[in-house]
Structure 1
Amino acid sequence: MRTECQTDFVQLNGKRYPCTVSLAMDLIGGKYKATILYHLQDGGKRFGELYACLNAATEAVLSKQLKELERDGLVSRTQYGTKPPVKTEYALTDFGRTAIPVLQAVTQWGNRVALEKGVWEECLHE
């Protein structure tokens, strides 16, 4: 068995990946997946709270990303109550928490790149 990006393929959940980097990026590399995981690292949040954290995401995109994260076992979804409006909370699973060191490293690198090469824009909320 080989690890990292070499010649062997790896399969997970019915998908075939050319290397472990591709596998990892499929799990956390969606449009907002890493950002969602980042915002859940300190505890569970309701859909509206996550939506407020993601300025550019639509509700449909956020919903799709959450479903994929739940399907892949990184996020759990807990629904409280049965009568509308029900309270739904999303939280990291134990498996999801294993991604936190990766996200912290990506955050540090992103901060460095932004400081050294980026141009900061003011965030305008309507």
Structure 2
Amino acid sequence: MVKKIISVGAILLLALMAMDEALATTVTTTVTTTTIDEEENQQCQREIQTRSFPNCETYLKLEFDRADATIMLPYAKKHYKRRCCRNELSGIDKQCVCFAVRTMMKNMMDSGRLSAEDMEAMLELAGDLPTVCNLRKYPC
């Protein structure tokens, strides 16, 4: 009985050591990824700093809150979607599209056009926008 307990203890110790090594590797990988993301963010920031996304914003609002948003708008939802995809997102480098969407959402919140509660709920819709526009295979 004592041998079985020692064997189980040894196995658990080996498993913990293996997990510890895997976690250390993950941390190193994350640090490397963060550095790459920061460089990409700087490049993307330069690319979109002069752009605005009014049609994308309107389209997202229509998708999110259909009842309130449609009352005062002169065009149908597909008009804003088409202009968002063709005029606002299509000219952006494929690697920067998600950065552009995140920046758009942040600007909407910072300017008061979107509350924190709505922002949280709308983020998933915004992440799907590049897929809806056929600019990416997968959402942001």
Fold shared by both chains (TM-score > 0.5): no
User: 1 or 2, which has the higher strand percentage?
Assistant: 1
Q: Which has the higher contact order (CA 8 A, sep 6+)?
A: 2
TM superposition score normalised by structure 1: 0.31
Bigger CA radius of gyration: 2
